[in-house]
Structure 1
Amino acid sequence: MPEKATYRKIIHVDMDAFYASVEQRDFPQYRGKALIVGGMPEGRGGVVATASYEARKFGVHSAMPSKTAQRLCPHAIFVYPRFDAYKTVSRHIREIFERYTDIIEPLSLDEAYLDVTHDKQGIGYAMDIAKQIKLAIKEELNLTASAGVSINKFVAKIASDMNKPDGLTFIGPSKIEAFMEQLKVEKFHGVGKVTAAKMKAMGLHTGGDLKKLTEAEMTTRFGKPGKFYFQIVRGIDNRPVQAHRETKSVSVEDTYQEDLTTKETMLVELETLSQRLSERLQRAGLKGRTITVKFKFHDFTIMTRSLSFTILISDKENMIQTVKNILENAPLKDKRVRLLGVGISNFELAAEKRRLNNDMQLSLF
């Protein structure tokens, strides 16, 4: 008889509306209300960090401009983030994870992969471990988390998002291919809005549609990511859970429906991007020395320009001044810009932050 296949046991845990849930837990007056954590709508360039589920019913979501969120949900309550409070909760969540495994890959303060193939307590069943983790978070922190369980990271992450809030979803090896075939392309983690639109324009709406293409056809149509799409639609993801991954850079970018042709309009967009980047750095507890601005032109060529400092920065004021200096000196005469990005690198983490490994891989979204 052939040997029985052995699989990894991966859990993806994602806290439900994390920042907003912490605020509603700590302040009774916010409970049951449409709550938005992030930049105030009267502030230029403010964005939503997290919205409560009461606000999400009106279409509010993370990374949305605060003014848009206010227009969609006029009665929403806006509050500034309390990152110290969120980090304290995140440490406790990490301690709960460590009761079961040391192979933990944080993606942010509120999200992580766990490899429980060989769990510390000898429980053996990943679903039972996920249930215990969710229960501990509820009993010890009065918060809810959603979890996805599968044999690889990609499927576990999709599973964790299926039944939010307070969800628990298992997608076993025999069900993965059929599940991926019916999944809409915009639900594939790693397929952004632009790529999803490109796929749909080609008549590719589901994983089943993608599966009809050969690997060579996928690579021809989508470049290097095409190989990843070819594998993932078949449920193949061999990436390990990386317990000691260190962030090398953090960046944000936007593609514009109409090309930008003046430095004045570019500066407005770069200021907005700098605001978003600063907020993400504060959430991750990161500071860096090198700021990079990325320009993608109408002909799809790319140019980057960077400035480095002797001091560590993460605040939006320094970022905005830096991107302004970069923009002023960039050779953009007669250039039409379709994409702008702002990134930071050359980090230095405090010892405590290294221990917690609260890094974020944020080239979104």
Structure 2
Amino acid sequence: MPIARPAPQAPRVIAHVDLDCFYVQVEQRRRPELRGLPTAVVQYNAWKGGGLIAVGYEARKFGVKRSMRGDEAKMVCPDIQLVQVPVARGKADLNLYRDAGSEVVSILAAKGRCERASIDEVYLDLTAAAEQMLTATPPDTLQEIDEETLKSHVLGLQNGESVKQWLCRTDADHLDRLLACGAVIVAELRAEVLKKTSFTCSAGIAHNKMLAKLASGIHKPAQQTVVPSSSVPDLLGSLPINKMKQLGGKLGSSLQKELGVATVGDLLHFTEEKLQELYGWNTGAWLWNIARGINGDEVEGRLLPKSHGCGKTFPGQQALKSLSVVKHWLNGLCEELSERLQADLDKNKRLAHTLIIHADGSKAQGALTKRKFPSKSCPLRYGTAKIQEDAWKLFESGLREFLDLQSSEWAVTSLSVSASKIFPVPTGTNSIVKYFGEKQQSYSQTSEVCDVYGEDTTSISSSGDHLSEASDLQPVNHFGEENNGCHSPGMTHQTNKCSTVNREKGVCSILEHFHPIRFLKHFPPTVDGGTSGSKDEETESFKNEDAGTSPSHEIQVDQQREIWRFNVEDVDLSIVKELPPEIQQEVQTWIKSSKRTNPAKRPGSSISHYFAPVKKS
């Protein structure tokens, strides 16, 4: 659903950069002998030569279109070069194109806030760079303007005015002068992309994302278009309604049938109140805004994709009709998704939190319900086997809902898995072993383990069909901070609370999450408030346990000489497997080394001893 956002108060310079026939360009760079030849990139399946997914401009001159298949394209253009998309696991592998797109993004991001909208298009907020250029070196002061800038298309030029004259006007308003600076900057960026990657791209420069997106497709390839505010009415007045983003579907069809709207400019005939009455408050306001070229969407500043996904379609006779075949393909998709998630974690230090499965299906004729195959989601667990297991449970749940207790035959025509809610790994995180301490390690009041957690914590549903808000938690841990005023409970009465300042910041010791009753006092208090036995005896007891005792780890506290002890044999390894890989390895090593030392179990060291018995009322 479109969202109506008011126009920003301050002027902006927004560019939309679109790589020309990107898949074809990537293949031509990989195989230089294809340059200048009519070329198209085709799907991996061989039926009728495969479906075209990208057509080079040389092939378009012969009438080749993306809607054609390979055999048909050869009939139109016998000399066309058909390049097949790389294949992995029986489906298209787009990593070659994703990596090439990342090269371009890294160049464009140097001049302003950058939002990667897709594999081959980027939004740029160049407001700060344009303001700086207008102050320091406006276009009218430049001794020479590069040829690429002078080739720009400026909408609405009148009376034979040239592009150079428009760029260098000193009497222009502030908005147009900013756009002129933006045109110079974008031309420089496009030249830089061509130089470093050999890719050409087209661009639109305007005061908002909507207009910039429209402008980038007006003149292609390897060209740029500028949209001054004065040219907006003419641009939208002749723009077909289905060419506007979010108006190519049901909403656009409704506008055409019910209101007789053919172009975006036709919406100017309706008041905002009338549009809101017909389409709701939000959509009506959005329609009123776009008719006037108003769009408040921000460039989000995202260089990396918001989600990862992979899928495959199974049209016609290729439809999947048994659980075993669906599981085969689903496992392959999950394997690819897991590899991409792990690569994102290793390279970009990001973690995904939600696993989603989508499918399209059909049922045998005569089924009473017209229910669509539902999408399902659950918290994401890292690891190929875990993703495969969870995805299969989600599919089974969706299939039961799709069939609606009917035993009719079914077929799956498309299947996809994706991971979303991807956030950076919290900075400052350390090994989980930091929470437990090592041999002879003492924790004083001036050095504590502190965590920062979000306030809104919701438990994760065990059903696997619903997404929990807990997947959004982003803990940030700080270890070894001096004098932070945050101490473990159970030490002294004063150390059971964090300081007021840190409490307001949400900072407290991780030990505060355990109630004091969970800490065993191995040494009874003496009259002077201390403990019987000496510190040396406590340490010695850790070193010299008999062969008949069970291995355990302790946290020793100087002040009260309390020891937090737990049995490593009671550690649930299935929980350990939920931890990030690097922590898993460290904990597994620690547990194995402890078990090799003393494998026998000592009576009275069960983890149940740390919890007080439930009081019967």
**What is the TM-score normalised by the length of structure 2?**
0.44
Shift of 1:13: 0.8
Q: Paired residue for 2:418, among 344, 348, 358?
A: 344
Answering whether residue 276 of structure 2 is matched by residue 229 of structure 1, we say no
Q: Paired residue for 2:36, among 16, 32, 36?
A: 32
Partner of 1:332: 403
Shift of 1:34: 4.0
Q: Where do 1:191-210 residues align within 5 Å?
A: 191-202=247-258, 203-210=260-267
Shift of 1:197: 3.4
Q: Could you report, residue by residue, the CA deviation over 1:111-159 in whole angstroms, capped at 9, with x for unpaired residues?
A: 1111111118933300101111111122222221101000001000110
Partner of 1:160: 216
Answering whether residue 114 of structure 2 is matched by residue 104 of structure 1, we say yes
CA distance in 1, matches of 2:232, 2:331: 39
Q: Paired residue for 1:211, among 243, 254, 268?
A: 268
> 2:356–2:376: 8 Å Cα contact kept in structure 1?
yes
> 1:292–1:343: 8 Å Cα contact kept in structure 2?
yes
Distance 1:41 1:145, change over 3 A: same
Partner of 2:23: 19
CA distance in 1, matches of 2:321, 2:99: 41
CA distance in 2, matches of 1:312, 1:155: 43
Partner of 1:150: 206
CA distance in 1, matches of 2:257, 2:111: 45
> 1:60–1:72: 8 Å Cα contact kept in structure 2?
no
Q: Could you report, residue by residue, the CA deviation over 1:206-261 in whole angstroms, capped at 9, with x for unpaired residues?
A: 0122222233443454455343222112111111211148726869999xxxxxxx
The percentage of aligned residue pairs carrying the same residue is 22
Partner of 2:185: 129
CA distance in 2, matches of 1:85, 1:248: 18
Distance 1:131 1:54, change over 3 A: same
Gaps of 5+ in 1: 255-261, 352-365
Secondary structure at the aligned position of 1:227 is classed as: helix
> 1:36–1:51: 8 Å Cα contact kept in structure 2?
yes
Partner of 1:70: 70
Secondary structure at the aligned position of 1:304 is classed as: coil
Q: How many matched pairs? A: 331
Q: Where do 1:289-300 residues align within 5 Å?
A: 290-293=355-358
> 1:291–1:322: 8 Å Cα contact kept in structure 2?
no
CA distance in 1, matches of 2:423, 2:189: 28
Distance 1:294 1:92, change over 3 A: closer
Shift of 1:293: 3.4
Partner of 1:310: 381
Secondary structure at the aligned position of 1:165 is classed as: coil
Q: Could you report, residue by residue, the CA deviation over 1:65-88 in whole angstroms, capped at 9, with x for unpaired residues?
A: xxx532541355032247454344
Distance 1:165 1:91, change over 3 A: same
Secondary structure at the aligned position of 1:164 is classed as: coil
> 2:14–2:125: 8 Å Cα contact kept in structure 1?
yes
Amino acid at match of 1:210: L
Worse-matched range after superposition: 185-194 or 6-15: 185-194
Q: Where do 1:250-289 residues align within 5 Å?
A: none
Q: Paired residue for 1:90, among 92, 95, 101?
A: 101
Q: Could you report, residue by residue, the CA deviation over 1:92-120 in whole angstroms, capped at 9, with x for unpaired residues?
A: 3233223322x111112321111111118
Q: Could you report, residue by residue, the CA deviation over 1:7-45 in whole angstroms, capped at 9, with x for unpaired residues?
A: 21111111111121121123133223443335223279x
Structure index of larger Rg: 2
Secondary structure at the aligned position of 1:200 is classed as: helix
CA distance in 2, matches of 1:300, 1:249: 30
Secondary structure at the aligned position of 2:355 is classed as: strand
CA distance in 2, matches of 1:216, 1:182: 24
RMSD: 5.0
CA distance in 2, matches of 1:98, 1:133: 10
Q: Could you report, residue by residue, the CA deviation over 1:183-225 in whole angstroms, capped at 9, with x for unpaired residues?
A: 1111102222444333333321101222222334434544553
**What is the TM-score normalised by the length of structure 1?**
0.69
Secondary structure at the aligned position of 1:123 is classed as: helix
> 1:11–1:114: 8 Å Cα contact kept in structure 2?
yes
Secondary structure at the aligned position of 2:262 is classed as: coil
